[in-house]
Amino acid sequence: MESSVESSSVDIPPLSSRHHQPPPSLPHHVSASPFLTQQPNQPNNGPETSPIFNLKKIFDGFLPFIILALVKVGYDHRLGILIFFAMFGTFIYCNAKVQEVASPRHIVSVGLILFFNIFLLYLTFADQHLYKSLYFFLPSFPAVDLWTLLWIVGMNDFIIKFATIAIKLVIVCLPNRTICCRKKGQCYQLIEMASQSYRCLIPITPWFYFLFSNSENEGYILSTCLLIVYTICKSFDVYAKAKDLIKSISIFSNFQIYGSTPSAQQLAVYNNMCAVCHDAFVSPVQLPCGHIYCDECITSWLDRERTCPMCRSKMQDGPKWRDASTSGNLQLF
């Protein structure tokens, strides 16, 4: 222990000698040292004068009050916030479960959880008639303030997502002889795109009521301007969703294949054996990279991945939403 103290004292010059040395011109990274910045007569040329530092200082001053306000808002709306987290947790759980290949009992339990959540929400807030939003009417609220808007839009968004997962569960249950593996993936994609398009339209009515809430008084011009801006922004969103929906309908209606039919010679190179199922080829398909797989094997693979299982070359057609997953984005506007 003593030896270590002695060795360290050798490296550091005595304090008195350091006082007599003129202050060296230090590189920039050293000027950030707290010993230098705390000297009162030196001009502040360090990061303390930067706009970001000043903003941080202002923010630090407001921070306790922001936290106080958030705690108050959180307490006032504790029930709504708790329900939001419960719905979010249910969504995460059910969205993950629907993608797993599970037993019928397992599928029924996920379906019951979804149904129970939808039923409980509408029953608990029966006087609000939240379901009216589903056919573009305003639920029963005297006025639409920001919180009411978020409540209507957020809860109905969860309800539509739950219904979407429930419909996908029905497709999962269908045996492969009823609907082939390839069509299942495209079916999930079509359901998801239809659901996203519908979810995109649901917030329009509450938003119109929210933006037009003070239109009777002098705020008429402002409300009209806000409404025009909202309509313009929203039309871009609706257009993008409609485009995706049309594309998924066209993929679903055309019997799309991922590759071409290989020749007998090409099959012989692979000893007539699929690299995915390690069995004889069934309806073999050759990908653009040259590798050959069973139609069903490669379809179920490409519904989840974007690459060839062997050489990892990228496929042009992405598998978006073909794995039965549902978008977790909260459509609030």
Minimum CB separation of residue 172 from Zn ion in Å reads 21
Pick the closer one to Zn ion by CB: 81 or 311: 311
Pick the closer one to Zn ion by CB: 92 or 280: 280
Q: Is 289 in the site for Zn ion (CB under 5 A)?
A: yes
Show the binding pattern over residues 292-321: x = contacts Zn ion (CB under 5 A), - = does not: --x--x----------x-xx----------
Minimum CB separation of residue 100 from Zn ion in Å reads 21
Pick the closer one to Zn ion by CB: 313 or 329: 313
Helix/strand/coil for 187? helix
Q: Name the residue among 280, 272, 281, 277 with its Cα closest to residue 309.
A: 277
| Alpha carbon distance 108, 112 (integer Å) | 6
Minimum CB separation of residue 282 from Zn ion in Å reads 7
Pick the closer one to Zn ion by CB: 139 or 259: 259
The conformation of residue 290, written as its DSSP 8-state character, comes to S
Q: Is 277 in the site for Zn ion (CB under 5 A)?
A: yes
Pick the closer one to Zn ion by CB: 33 or 313: 313
List own/partner pairs for 103-112 with CB under 8 A and 24 or more apart. 104/173, 107/169, 107/172, 107/173, 110/165, 110/169, 111/166, 111/169
Minimum CB separation of residue 180 from Zn ion in Å reads 14
| Alpha carbon distance 287, 313 (integer Å) | 10
Helix/strand/coil for 309? coil
List own/partner pairs for 88-91 with CB under 8 A and 24 or more apart. 88/158, 90/114, 90/117, 90/162, 91/158, 91/161, 91/162, 91/165, 91/326, 91/328
DSSP states of 65-121 as a string?
HHHHHHHHHHHHTHHHHHHHHHHHHHHHHHHHHHTS---HHHHHHHHHHHHHHHHHH
Could you say which of 155, 274, 315, 324 contacts Zn ion (CB under 5 A)? Answer: 274
Could you say which of 201, 238, 251, 276 contacts Zn ion (CB under 5 A)? Answer: 276
Minimum CB separation of residue 182 from Zn ion in Å reads 13
Q: Is 182 in the site for Zn ion (CB under 5 A)?
A: no
What is the H or E stretch that residue 304 is in? none
Q: Which stretch binds Zn ion (CB under 5 A): 138-146, 225-233, 250-258, 276-284?
A: 276-284
Minimum CB separation of residue 87 from Zn ion in Å reads 40
Q: Name the residue among 204, 209, 195 with its Cα closest to residue 233.
A: 204
Pick the closer one to Zn ion by CB: 204 or 289: 289
Pick the closer one to Zn ion by CB: 297 or 302: 297
Minimum CB separation of residue 280 from Zn ion in Å reads 8
Residues of span 26-65 touching Zn ion by CB under 5 A: none
Q: Name the residue among 120, 213, 208, 114 with its Cα closest to residue 166.
A: 114
Give residues in contact with Zn ion (CB under 5 A).
Answer: 274, 276-277, 289, 291, 294, 297, 308, 310-311
